[in-house]
Amino acid sequence: MIKIYLKRGKDESLRRFHPWVFSGAIQRIEGKQEEGELARVFNSDGEYIATGHWQIGSIAVRVLTFDDEPIDEGFWDQRLAAALEARMAIGVADNEQNNTYRLVHGEGDHLPGLIIDIYGQTAVMQAHSVGMHICRNEVAASLKRVMQDRIEHIFYKSETTLPFKADLGQENGFLLGGSPDNIALENGLKFHIDWLRGQKTGFFVDQRENRSLLEHYSHGRDVLNMFCYTGGFSVYAMRGGARKVHSVDSSAKAVDLVNANVELNFPGDSRHEAFAEDAFKFLQQMEQDAYDLIILDPPAFAKHKDALHNAMKGYTRLNVRAFEKIRPGGILFTFSCSQAVSKDQFRLAVFTAAAQSGRRVRILHQLHQPADHPINIYHPEGEYLKGLVLYVE
């Protein structure tokens, strides 16, 4: 355990429960500085402020608690039990139709650096900080205690999410159990989850509610799902009664996944076809009026603030193509998952695209991340997913 003393006045944001200490706020550090070490944080008068994980970098401490309490079994059990209780309260856990949900969403669950997604009997755990990596076995043990027989397997996947320089030698693998059974249920639909090789924890759990809304609009429509990945939106569109569904992703592996997931839910259904193609190229080459329901859910165009300008141009360029080609009376679901692009900035990029296309466009819905990805009100940085549903005349 190390002690960190802040510069005068630098405890202000922490007093408002913002869960990060930036390196520039630190006056001095006492104790052996091992990355991932627990740190007790004090203000310049020596008053206790918080305890968290210390790490080299601009975010120096990720706060676990503002109470003066030990970070022990009881702490982890309490935090994880609170997370589970919240998921039961919103109806995604202990639900016969749904066993796919995010149990822990970092700062949103007062556990910065930790992500846990549940897929049926398997929890996929991801550390985004050195401290959480070091605690992984304690967290896994607590997870099993709290979840009891809800889960049998815990897969740890942090190979690509930890600071490269920390050189922790981490490997992906099971911390508990181990099963090749990977079919999970989301709102009654089945999905193969590839936590081993897939992006993030294997699935984009964060689009669940938006996929449900899409299902509602799919009846009788010709649907184009761009950046389809595992085909979440495609499968919902099919259940919603779409006339045809085309899925596009530049990754051939994603195209295999979407085909497998469609086959799992709608065997032999000829309404669906998938294409391994670049989205921009596909939109440029596709026929006018071929689709009247289009989904644009690209990867984050801006991973950092300095990429903002290009990201805005990217969103505009992408959306303008969809506006130009969508059939009159069509509906466009368009998203950004860039944390660096605000809701207003994204709306501006889409507005610019609409104006360039000359189409008349109305906003039907403003979408965001679902309730199992809560935003700590003191940590607005936790808001990342935004979307618009647009009616194009």
Task: Tell me which stretch binds ligand SAH (CB under 6 A): 227-235, 308-316, 348-356, 363-371.
Answer: 227-235
Nearer to ligand SAH, 40 or 157 (CB): 157
State yes or no: residue 233 binds ligand SAH (CB under 6 A): yes
Q: Could you tell me if 72 and 93 are in contact, meaning their C-beta atoms sit under 8 angstroms apart?
A: no
Q: Is 228 a catalytic residue?
A: no
Task: Tell me which stretch binds ligand SAH (CB under 6 A): 29-37, 173-181, 228-236, 322-330.
Answer: 228-236
Exactly one of 278, 309, 310, 313 binds ligand SAH (CB under 6 A); that residue is 278
Write the CA distances from 121 to 151, 154, 177, 194, 290, integer angstroms. 4, 9, 10, 14, 41
Write the CA distances from 141 to 103, 146, 380, integer angstroms. 15, 9, 30
Nearer to ligand SAH, 113 or 298 (CB): 298
Task: Tell me which stretch binds ligand SAH (CB under 6 A): 115-123, 186-194, 222-230, 261-269.
Answer: 222-230
Beta carbon of residue 350, minimum distance to ligand SAH (angstroms, whole number): 17
- 12 contact partners, CB below 8 Å, separation of at least 6: none
State yes or no: residue 117 binds ligand SAH (CB under 6 A): no
- 266 contact partners, CB below 8 Å, separation of at least 6: 235, 238, 239, 272
State yes or no: residue 369 binds ligand SAH (CB under 6 A): no
Exactly one of 232, 240, 314, 370 binds ligand SAH (CB under 6 A); that residue is 232
Exactly one of 57, 299, 329, 380 binds ligand SAH (CB under 6 A); that residue is 299
Q: Could you tell me if 307 and 340 are in contact, meaning their C-beta atoms sit under 8 angstroms apart?
A: yes
Write the CA distances from 256 to 95, 211, 219, 276, integer angstroms. 29, 20, 25, 9
Q: Residues, the chain, total?
A: 393
Beta carbon of residue 96, minimum distance to ligand SAH (angstroms, whole number): 23
Exactly one of 14, 130, 134, 254 binds ligand SAH (CB under 6 A); that residue is 254
Q: Which of 226, 322, 337, 385 is catalytic?
A: 337
Residues touching ligand SAH, count (CB under 6 A): 17
Task: Tell me which stretch binds ligand SAH (CB under 6 A): 24-32, 173-181, 225-233, 362-370.
Answer: 225-233
State yes or no: residue 204 binds ligand SAH (CB under 6 A): yes
Exactly one of 44, 251, 284, 310 binds ligand SAH (CB under 6 A); that residue is 251
Q: Which residues are catalytic?
A: 337
Residues within the interface to ligand SAH (CB under 6 A) = 204, 207, 227-230, 232-233, 249-251, 254, 278-279, 297-299
